[in-house]
Amino acid sequence: TYPSDCPPDVEQLGRSSWTLLHSITAQYPESPSPQLQSETKTFMHTFSKLYPCWHCATDFQTWMKKDGNAPRVSSREEFGRWMCEAHNAVNVKIGKKEFDCTKWEERWRTGWKDGRCG
């Protein structure tokens, strides 16, 4: 296996990035100010330009430009769902299973209902 103190490969980079992105949605306000909403859209836009896997970044930008795929940031619930859909678009593209987006909050914010996350 690849040593962990080496530059990340695409998979490692992806896992860390999704952890950051979903965690941001988990801590996002339920009622964000108009300014934060605007900054959040800018953040996602800039993120999609700087993501350090260039073919991933290009495809992610293309996906975000499609009808209905622009970041939805008017509440935590909306932003969390949007991020889940964005992640699912990548899952589909690379042949991974789609995640059930009704469960995003259990996975990333509250922990699972069975209590296994403590």
Q: Which residues bind ligand FAD (CB under 6 A)?
A: 10-11, 14-15, 17-18, 22, 51, 55-56, 59-60, 84, 87-88, 90-91, 94, 96, 99, 104, 107
Provide, rounded to whole angstroms, the least separation between the CB of residue 60 and ligand FAD. 4
C-beta closer to ligand FAD: residue 65 or 96? 96
Considering only CA atoms, which of 105, 101, 108 is closest in space to residue 86?
A: 101
Q: Of the two residues 39 and 94, which places its CB atom closer to ligand FAD in the complex?
A: 94
Q: In angstroms, what CA-CA distances link 6 with 9, 51, 52, 66?
A: 9, 18, 15, 35
Cβ proximity of 80 and 25 under 8 Å = yes
- What the block records as the tokens of 94 is 């690379």
Residue 38 C-beta: closest distance to ligand FAD, Å: 21
The CB-of-65 to ligand FAD minimum distance in angstroms stands at 14
Shortest distance, position 28 Cβ to ligand FAD, whole Å: 14
Rounded Cα distance between 46 and 25, Å, is 16
* 83, 72 Cβ separation under 8 angstroms: no
